[in-house]
Amino acid sequence: MITIENLCFSYTQNTPYLLKNLCLTIHKGDYISILGDNGSGKSTLIKLLLKLLTPTEGKIVDTFTNLAYLPQRFENLNSQFPITVYEVLDCYRKTLKLKDKDCIFKYLDLVKMRDFSNSLIGKLSGGQCQKIFIARALMGTPDLLILDEPSTGVDLKSQTEIYSLIKNINVSEKVTVISVEHNLKAAIDNSTLIYHLSQGSGHLCNPDDYINEYVSASTRSDRNASL
């Protein structure tokens, strides 16, 4: 379980805070999508959960023991980097001190990417690359999976496969999923809860309420604007 209590954060350590008095409890097995406009603090919240940043005020109590993170890959990946899919997974396996070498192929089979084990990671398409990083994230049998816009740069067919994979892990393995999303449809279809960030404040609701509160309102305002 993760409990966020009165969390405030500012990169300058002073007011105005980017995140203001956030309170949130995430239970085992939840699938929470974090939505909000650009600059609303979604990625900052993820970095706080990953302990890459320290809260300015308040605290985060995290009782999950095994965390895996799926970054927003394509922004940072150097397509010229000389590393094969097998080497990427093998590095992670050795970091986790897993003795069984064959587990690499087990996870490649899970994402249907065994045939690409000797391919250079930079030569893969967006969707293929994301599947490899999902396989890497699952190698440590995590109890918490944090995703940063998993569908960025991924074609529609691969998006469906990736979300079905994540949802399946969430349901069958009871892995808690926290995902920063720009993909509204994916968030509504897959999440059990949606956390909406706006002007530094957060609001938790279920997907149906989210459609009523935010999606309809914005659709209405769009319609009015066009008239």
Partner 1 sequence: MLHYSFMQNAFMISILISILCPLIGMFLVLKRYSMIGDTLSHASLAGVAVGLMCKVNPILSAFLLTSVFGVIIEFLRDHYKKYAELILVIVLSLSVGIAITIISAGAVHANVESFLFGSVLTVTREDFYTVLILSIVSLITIVGLYHQLVFITFDEEGAKIAGIKDKMINYIFSILVASTISVSIRIVGILVISSLIALPVATALQLNKGFKTTMLYSILFSFIDITLGIVISFWINAAPGGVTALISVFLLVFILLLKKLNFYEIIK
> For residues 11 and 81, which CB has a smaller minimum distance to partner 1 in the complex?
81
Smallest distance from partner 1 to CB 226, Å: 41
Among 19, 45, 88, 154, binds partner 1 (CB under 8 A): 88
Q: Which residue stretches of the chain are H helix?
A: 42-49, 73-76, 85-95, 103-110, 126-138, 156-172, 184-190, 207-210, 216-226
Q: Element (H or E) spanning 26, and its range?
A: strand 19-26
Give the Cα separation of 153 and 86 in Å (integer): 22
Among 1, 23, 83, 171, binds partner 1 (CB under 8 A): 83
- Which range touches partner 1 (CB under 8 A), out of 18-26, 31-39, 63-71, 171-179? 63-71
92 binds partner 1 (CB under 8 A): yes
Q: Element (H or E) spanning 179, and its range?
A: strand 176-180
Q: The sheet that has 2-9: what strands, in order across it?
A: 19-26, 2-9, 57-62
Give the Cα separation of 93 and 29 in Å (integer): 25
Smallest distance from partner 1 to CB 178, Å: 13
> For residues 88 and 138, which CB has a smaller minimum distance to partner 1 in the complex?
88
87 binds partner 1 (CB under 8 A): yes
Smallest distance from partner 1 to CB 54, Å: 14
Residues that bind partner 1 (CB under 8 A): 50, 52, 67, 69, 71, 76, 78, 80-84, 86-88, 90-92, 94-96, 118, 120
